[in-house]
């Protein structure tokens, strides 16, 4: 069973700051997802990673498979980035007929103007 | 951009009543999932569905739960006799192969009273 840990649990930043959210997992994976959830709202997929680094606008996601660690970075943060950011992993033994995800508890990010 | 559509967005039901939560996955996706999120907790896997059958289910998905894909487009989650502890946000998701295009619906908030 994979344990997914995120840090920090809560993060408050000033507009314009560089943000880093970390995710560690206990067992080897085949893919890692970063997701965004607004309070009371739905879940939006930001990235799926199996190696290296991906960038989309001001968001950057990296993964180190050997270290079992991923980071999500937000450059030039803005109040509209305020949300819960969730790391979710797909296990090595899944696939074929199942790509279920195991979720972390999420990081609540608040960006103040 | 293709969406996963869930209805209703909110449902309030009496304890012991049956509820059906509905989802329309993305049309060319092959893998379908239900997840739930109890208020303040992390998202938990319930069940995955592929090729018209359940491919995996969690311990939560007991005999009170069932899923169907009745007409090739809808994907439903039925809870036969709801309990207070079934109160949660239920998310439907779908994906292509290799968890590509993993997309979540906006969720159904179920309140059991």
Per-residue CA distances from B27 to B19, B32, B68, B69, B72 (Å): 24, 11, 16, 13, 9
What percentage of chain B has pLDDT greater than the value 70? Answer: 98
Contact of A104 with chain B, judged by CB distance below 8 Å, is answered with: yes
For residue B84, give the DSSP letter: G
According to the model, what pLDDT value does residue A18 have? 98
DSSP secondary structure letters along B39-70: TTS--EEEEEEETTEEEEE-TT--TTEEEE--
In this complex, the residue of B43, B95, B103 whose CB is nearest that of residue A103 is B43
According to the model, what pLDDT value does residue A94 have? 57
Q: Which residues of A touch B46 (CB under 8 A)?
A: none
Q: Read off the tokens for B50.
A: 């592929």
pLDDT per position as a tens digit, B42-80: 999 999 999 899 999 999 999 999 999 988 889 999 999
Q: Are B99 and A99 in contact (CB under 8 A)?
A: yes
Residue B98 — very low, low, confident or very high, per pLDDT cuts 50/70/90? low
Question: Rounded to 10 degrees, what is the CA torsion of A105, A111, B1, B3?
Answer: 40
Q: Which residues of B touch A86 (CB under 8 A)?
A: 42-43
**What is the average pLDDT value for chain A, to the nearest integer?**
92
pLDDT above 80 (res B95): yes
Task: Tell how many helices (H) and how many strands (E) occur in chain A.
Answer: 0, 11
């Amino acid at each position: 069973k994979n344990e997914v840990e995120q840090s920090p649990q809560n993060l408050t930043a000033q507009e314009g700051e560089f943000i880093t959210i970390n995710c560690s997992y206990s067992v080897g994976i085949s893919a890692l997802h970063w997701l965004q959830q607004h309070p009371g709202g739905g879940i939006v997929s930001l990235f799926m990673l199996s190696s290296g680094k991906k960038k989309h606008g001001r968001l950057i996601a990296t993964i180190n498979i050997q270290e079992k660690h991923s980071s999500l970075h937000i450059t030039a943060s803005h109040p509209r980035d305020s949300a819960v950011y969730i790391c979710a992993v797909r296990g090595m033994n899944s696939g074929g007929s199942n790509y279920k995800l195991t979720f972390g508890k999420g990081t609540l990010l608040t960006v103040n103007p | 951009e293709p969406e996963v559509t869930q209805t209703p967005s909110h449902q309030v039901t009496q304890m012991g009543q049956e509820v059906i939560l509905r989802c329309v996955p993305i049309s060319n996706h092959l893998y379908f999932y239900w997840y739930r999120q109890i208020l303040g907790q992390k998202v938990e896997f319930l069940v995955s569905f592929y090729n018209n059958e359940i491919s995996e289910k969690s311990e939560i998905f007991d005999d009170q739960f069932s899923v169907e894909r009745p007409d090739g487009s809808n994907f439903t989650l039925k809870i036969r006799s709801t309990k207070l502890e079934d109160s949660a946000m239920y998310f439907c998701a779908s994906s292509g192969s290799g968890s590509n295009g993993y997309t979540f619906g906006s969720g159904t908030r179920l309140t059991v009273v």
